Amino acid sequence: MDPARKRKIRLVVALGAAVLLAAALVYTSFSASTEAKQPSQLLNASSGSSYDLTGKVVAGTVRKDGESLRFRVADRDDPVPDRVWDVAATHLDQKELAALLVGVALTNLTNRLSTSTRQQ
């Protein structure tokens, strides 16, 4: 067989496998996760249900009561304030900011997949 044709077939097979794996990862990520709620959203939530909660522990509210740990949770601040983006933009151009964002997103995806499949 012609070596160039052989390389082309290998490339097509490898790319096909990569697309299938990527689709499986995306499916696993979205099917295994639930949308986390902010503490303020729990006011309208139905009772008797389970919820994933995102937020931050309010400083000075952590109390240990026997084996129980009690604390207050508040909504998180803006995940990435505008001033952080402005500082990053002074050091990075648009392509570099995009690459950074993709890197963070891929790390987040990997962490979510590892958590949902209980990988260490």
Tell which residue, 43, 34, 39, 32, has the closest CA to residue 53: 39
The predicted pLDDT at position 110 comes to: 83
Strand pairing category for 56-57 and 73-74 = antiparallel
Quickly state the pLDDT bin for 31 (edges 50, 70, 90).
low
> How far apart (Å, rounded) are the C-alpha atoms in residues 79 and 108?
14
Structural contact between residues 97 and 88, judged by C-beta atoms closer than 8 angstroms: yes
Structural contact between residues 38 and 75, judged by C-beta atoms closer than 8 angstroms: yes
Q: Is pLDDT larger for residue 27 or for residue 15?
A: 15
59, with CB counted inside 10 A (0-12, 13-18, 19+), is exposed
Average pLDDT, the chain: 81
Average pLDDT over residues 100-119: 79
Output the CA–CA distances (angstroms, integers) from residue 77 to 24, 55, 80, 82, 90, in the order listed. Answer: 33, 8, 8, 12, 23
Q: Per the confidence metrics, is the pTM higher than 0.75?
A: no
The predicted pLDDT at position 97 comes to: 85
